[in-house]
Structure 1
């Protein structure tokens, strides 16, 4: 306790007679482990015993003004100061953060503190939130934003360092801090060796070689990444040992360790996120619900008999034998089971009513709603303007034969409001949802499983009221005599009555099955989750926390590595939840690798994507230089406002630090970041000519805008509508189990006799439905600690006034956008905003409360 007494004594005087010595008062905010882990209350007791025999948390200020020639020209170090009253500061379990006082000795050799070292000699770790210095001579208040776990000092080679919230380019970094800056980056890169442990902070790359078990034939899958056959973005390295039977594959964690996958410690979910039952819910679904239901449905029919049976999921729950959870009550509290699955006696799995059927139980079946959701649903990023007729294929005719569409002009011209097909194309009134070329190369293998799917083309007409009308659906299969003979298929048309109406409903369902799988695997997983992870790794390896671009991008990486690691373990793995609930089955991830071949970074920009799909044209007279071909395209209208708000903020921010293009070119950290990102993170794309060269401010601004767009708004638009639209499985079926019935077959007779039952036998089974909607309900929720676009988790993230003011302006602009979205949603002339189901489009409404809201743009791919 001697140091505390001495510091308290010094605190009676601000400086000595010459003004060269003083004390600096500081406040450290942290969370002790016993607050965060109720199963580790013993850690607090041990820590307090240690406190009785000496000070266990020390801090040393680092000068940003003066170097120590005897310490490798690093900034001079102050004398250790200790957290005061660790033992007597009782940590209430109802409050997360605790503030501790600390008093530093200061003299002119320290000058302005630019960083500090912290050493934790307690047995257990704590979460260090901030350090605030109150009375720094000649400077006043200095903030250190830490937000990091600090483990016992034995876990580290050197004491942990944290920098003040001042932002520096490498060339502007004070000499006293430069070595510390470089050493910290080197620590984060690691040495590429060994298995990484919980306390490690290493960011490194690996292939997707951890998804399967090569020892079991039914669980063999290809390694993704590192080859031209199976290209893929890189994921975070765990360093787990290779399989003994095949050292190309990494061993997988077994139960009950499946949630303890290594990610850098500061990338793990917060205790708040875990207390919101996210982790437990996923664990319950995958490790408990899935096998229990499989066992149950092995013994009973696993079909819904009618649409009303499906509605029971939201109105009364499903009856199950008593005691279905008897084997798990010791490991998962009954209250949690009840909260997640709303159990009540022998009933369970009573789900919230999805928004798509809240106002009207049958409007989802209309052709108008079917078409509207291509513009304002959960996957509004596929539809494109049709610019040739018949729709053509880009598949190699030498391999796949003639894949040209069989839809003819004569079949659709009567529904074009008096226009010919050529006139409709010239007026840009024909559109297509095209899942033909993407599926055909996989379809023969996919259909060798229990799946029975089609490659599909859906042609639509833009009517004068701004809505789309489906004209025809083409469902195709590979030629039975070989791929080189092209496709065989049928064309189906809208019908209102009779068996033709039932067949049309099935045709739409086959389209939705393919669109649902494409959405989940490509639009969602590949284009947001997987694509963004290399940016996270490269940023932490090559851009110091002092770097302005690190400070800009860091909020947009929160929780992503953790949710991706969980996905590899329980969702996208061989035999995992996605293989059971979406149509490509065991070919899910191979299919996503095939689609990664078409991934182009600059085309992830919303304006570029809309122009590529023919949904917008460049128009200098229009706001922001773009004109939408469908004026009432909710995703694009709201999205463009968000996109340009992000870009304006990024432009203001980057322009503050990069005054010229030359500064961009001469920034060694920035150039190393961009090089590693291309050559390592997205290494299978390293030779593509479309990568920005990162030689100009404009390239930097555009690239950062794309990264933020992908992580925030694009993911929000794709993710948080999953349950509102897909929680009702008839609206978004994800598997088809038999082909379209042929006249004269028993299936056709069943379709005539009972269309609902035939429909339900065709699409997702009851087990798959329950498992699928259980997952998407969890994954569509906002946790209570979510941080949304335009927000930061601390107001002191930088000390630079202009960027802070620009960020405030960004927040004001987003609030204006929210008002505009609400006004558009109340405008009855905009028929695509709510549609027949009366479900306003809110997926790009920036803010939200926690829970299942169908709105809100988190900063990051956080779920």
Structure 2
């Protein structure tokens, strides 16, 4: 049946090819593509079909489309050239190309009626897909060389309602598009939008929206049910990519989930999936293996051991010496897990050890406990994993903004007497007026969920406030930590507060260390769920979807933004299946537990697109005295040695200048922005659908002038590149040593008069590890962070673009200037990291701040800004 249908198609194609008259004028073309591995051919029929097509010379056909001469018989689309077949599918030209690329030739017949071609219709008559990279035409009359950047998977033609079309690498605003090509521009966008129905399958090219209704798994029990995020005032959320999977059996509002073994088959548009060479393919393999095999084996390992770490020496052995694996477990490993994965996760060598790479935070053996110092605790708030939360303290004691109709007595209990002795001779009033007091506030975000977390999850934790003092040498000194628990007061929720102040020795010193650890637990959860997941991954996905649905590939803003969307939908889809799902890795290892994503939804209520721009973010947090409109305003930073802010502003203004130069070339006036139908549809859909729960917010740019466009595109690029790099690629360096960044607390602070207090006096390290994450939770977090901190071997760093991405000289020059500025910033970062006066650049742990160093290296390099959220 299949072969019969294929032969009928072959007959039609051959009839088309042989029915035309040959002429003497020809155009030579070259095509670069990557074949799907022959091992992926899943049936004899597909192999036979490919052979038949090649025998008849019609396996892949191409057809030129005129950019100059419309044809009424073609619906006023461009006049079509004759169908020509790709030559010698089974023989590629030498020399061989890198990365599995294959080079083919094609010869087109051409006549004057066709004119200069502006597009190519390509049909794949094989049984399987291939990845099409480029098509080049040589010596085109009236045009010379034409180049088509494709970078797309092309599936068998029978899977498409309309054949695939690829445009020359020219850039056109909608009104500038040659009339002969407009039909194809519109058809492409319609194909990418789909019709909003049905389950989407691999090979579909549809970009569409859905609610976050795929996190829960109620069919496996009520304990795995999760609220739908998005589409309500209670749980607003950005939209995700639609898969169209059927609802679960138990809850019609929840989408059914895939079997974990099939997780690689989750739908995302094929061109959004990881490239065939990308290290992230291995990362996907590892994530799948982590859930299916590694975590069960970690559980087995924990069962062979005392089930807890007892001392810092026990933990250090994971990195410096290794922990011997029991023989029985080795036998289990050998029979249940591939050798490559076993070596990756368990570092089995001749000694059979569980051993991890040494995180940077403990790599300095001259000062192995530097991570415990107060200076490092403060430094990581401006140069660590989550440098986005610290704010200027403007009133003392700190006040709560929780709804007074629900909450009472939520203001801080920290007094002047608690901190004034530690302000280097200043009074609290003087420190406030001189803008030297800062706060890391995890009170209002946690308090509404604290009762649920402590009652319904393994966690036992507090809401927290941390007050810091800016010292004369530019470092931040924590002067008080307040830990709070909810307390019913009538029909409202009050708080019980306990204030802790710095101590270095004895039991009080260990209580201070535990207080800092409770703060870090809160910060770790906020970092992973909000700073990282929500504010980069989740909020950017609607931009990816809207851009592909509303902006043609030849639109200048599509060309500007497209490199910054690479792989984002894929990593987000994997996260929903393996990391942030019900009972997934985040819920089982981070403090909010099953309320994790629900809490991020509540925090999304205060998300503001304009505040994602770094200058606006710093102003909102009171970190700058006035506005920052250029690098000349860096002196307005209240914390002069704030590595994230200093490096970030350099990157921000470089991005903004590049975007300004680029957009100003295509949009000469504000009216051109207003009159661009694709741009206006893009922005409207972005606000009203992609971020539909916030569509009525007054802060959205109106997209009525060039400045709106420039600032919006700069913010999108910043979030996709530098912001994500700052909160992602240092995860193993700081969090890979979990005592420095515990993600969960299991017991409350030891209090005098309780059994835990004498234990704290006798064995404080044991109390620390009984209070924080368990051995299994810690090992799981280490393994995940190691995987997610990797740079891909084919990583595209900020400023890098495909060759021949445009033919316009001014944007090419602006791109070159952008890259030159990024190279200068690299030199400036290196110089600052060597400046001994800047104590926050390296800190007690001796980690240079390189998270915003533009280029990086494969693996865990702790530096580099990829173009996109690719992991």
Of the three residues 172, 184, 187, the one matched with 2:188 is: 184
5 Å-filtered alignment, 1:317-716, equals: 317-322=322-327, 324=329, 333-344=338-349, 347-359=352-364, 360-448=367-455, 449-480=457-488, 484-618=492-626, 623-625=631-633, 627-716=636-725
- CA offset digits 1:740-761 (Å, max 9, x no partner): 0111212111110011111111
Aligned-partner Cα distance in 2 for 1:424–1:95: 60
Task: Give distance in 1, aligned partners of 2:41 and 2:521.
Answer: 44
Q: Which residue of 2 aligns with 1:723?
A: 732
Query: What is the aligned-residue RMSD (CA, Å)?
Result: 2.4
Instruction: Select which of 773, 778, 789 maps to 2:798.
Output: 789
Conserved? CA contact 2:311–2:769, under 8 Å = yes
Note the C-alpha offset of 1:315: 2.0
Question: C-alpha separation between the residues in 2 aligned to 1:325 and 1:667?
Answer: 63
Q: 2:766 pairs with 749, 757, 762, which one?
A: 757
Shift of 1:620: 7.6
The equivalent of 2:67 in structure 1 is: 64
**Which secondary structure does the structure 1 equivalent of 2:138 belong to?**
strand
Distance 2:222 2:476 in 1: 46
Q: Which residue of 1 aligns with 2:296?
A: 291
* TM-aligned CA deviation for residue 347 of structure 1: 3.2
State the alpha-carbon separation in 2 of the partners of residues 564 and 276 from structure 1. 14
The answer to whether residue 222 in structure 2 is matched with residue 214 in structure 1 is no
Counterpart contact for 1:377–1:725, Cα < 8 Å:
yes
SS of 2:63's partner is strand
Does residue 754 of structure 2 align to residue 745 of structure 1? yes
Shift of 1:235: 0.2
Give the corresponding residue for 1:140: 144
1:483 to partner: Cα distance: 7.2
Query: Could you say which residue in structure 1 is the equivalent of 2:32?
Result: 29
Change (3 A) 1:226 1:621: closer
Offset from partner CA, 1:116-161 (integer Å, 9 cap, x none)? 0000111111000000111111111111000000011111112101
C-alpha deviation, 1:76, in angstroms: 0.8
In structure 1, C-alpha distance between the alignment counterparts of 2:574 and 2:331, rounded to whole Å: 26
1:833 maps onto 2:841 in alignment: yes
Alpha-carbon spacing, 1:802–1:425, altered in 2? closer, same or farther (3 Å): same
Map Cα deviations across residues 791-816 of structure 1 (whole Å, 9 max, x no partner).
Answer: 01x21111111101110110000000
Structure 2 gaps, min length 5? 1-9
Distance in structure 2 (CA, Å) of the matches to 1:807 and 1:35: 39
| Other-structure match for 1:243 | 248
- Paired residues of 1:35 and 1:96 also in contact (CA < 8 A): no
Q: Normalized against structure 2, the TM-score is what?
A: 0.94
What TM-score, normalized by structure 1, do the two folds share? 0.95
The CA distance in 1 between the partners of 2:511 and 2:74, in whole Å, is 79
Q: Deviations over 1:486-538 (max 9, x none)?
A: 21011000011111101000000000000001000000000000000000000
Q: Offset at 1:322?
A: 3.1
8 Å Cα contact 1:24-1:105 kept in structure 2:
yes
Q: Conserved in 2, the CA contact under 8 Å of 1:357 and 1:837?
A: yes
SS of residue matched to 1:277: helix
Rounded to whole Å, the distance in 2 between the matches of 1:707 and 1:622 is: 19
**Counterparts in 2 of 1:537 and 1:411: CA distance versus 1, 3 Å:** same
Q: Secondary structure of 2:261's match? A: coil
> Residues 17-166 of structure 1 correspond to what in structure 2 (within 5 A)?
22-34=25-37, 47-48=50-51, 50-89=53-92, 95-166=99-170
Q: Deviations over 1:441-472 (max 9, x none)?
A: 01000111110111110001001101011100
**Cα shift readout 1:569-628 (whole Å, capped 9, x = no counterpart):** 010000100011110011111111111011000000000000000011225897354521
For 2:336 and 2:135, the matched residues in 1 are separated by 38
Shift of 1:279: 1.4
Cα contact 1:397–1:403 (8 A) shared by 2: no
Task: Report if the CA contact (8 A) 1:33-1:43 is conserved.
Answer: no
Distance of 1:392 and 1:455 partners within structure 2: 14
Closer, same or farther: CA 455–383 of 1 in aligned 2, 3 Å: same
Matching residue of 1:229: 234
Tell me, in whole angstroms, the C-alpha distance in 1 between the residues paired with 2:48 and 2:340: 29
Count of aligned positions = 852
- Pairwise CA distance, 1:44: 6.9
- Cα deviations across residues 735-781 of structure 1 (Å, max 9, x unaligned)? 00000011121211111001111111111111001101100100000
**1:692-749 CA deviation, whole Å, 9 max, x = no partner?**
0000100000000000000000000000010001000011000000000111212111
Q: 1:339: Cα distance to partner? A: 3.0
Tell me whether 1:821 sits opposite 2:829 in the alignment: yes
- Bigger mean CA offset, 293-302 vs 186-195: 293-302
Taking the aligned partners of 2:330 and 2:153, their CA distance within structure 1 comes to 36
Cα deviation, 1:797-839, whole Å, max 9, x if unaligned, reads 1111110111011000000000000000000000000000111
Distance 1:787-1:179 versus aligned 2 partners, 3 A rule: same
Post-superposition offset of 1:80:
0.8
Correspondence for 1:301 among 280, 303, 306? 306
Per-residue deviation at 1:480?
4.8
- Unaligned stretches of 5+ in structure 1? none
8 Å CA contact 1:276–1:783 kept in 2: the answer is: no
Whole-Å Cα distance in 2 between the matches of residues 275 and 498 of structure 1? 47
Change (3 A) 1:161 1:296: same
Distance 1:90 1:660 in 2: 48
- Which of 201, 206, 209 in structure 2 is aligned with 1:202? 206
Distance in 2 between the 1:512 and 1:68 partners?
Answer: 67
The separation in 2 between residues aligned to 1:268 and 1:309, in whole angstroms, is 40
Distance 2:645 2:852 in 1: 10
Query: Residue in 2 aligned with 1:847?
Result: 855
Q: How far apart are residue 40 of structure 1 and its match? A: 9.6
* More off after superposition, 89-98 vs 672-681: 89-98
Question: How far off is 1:857 after superposition?
Answer: 0.3
Task: Please give the secondary structure, in 2, of the residue aligned with 1:381.
Answer: coil
In the aligned structure 2, how far is the partner of 1:513 from the partner of 1:76?
Answer: 64
1:412 CA displacement: 1.0
Mapped partners of 1:427, 1:329: distance in 2: 63
Instruction: Name the SS of the counterpart of 1:55 in structure 2.
Output: coil
SS at match of 1:130: strand
Q: Does residue 777 of structure 1 match 2:782?
A: no
Q: 1:582 to 1:267 in 2, by over 3 A?
A: same
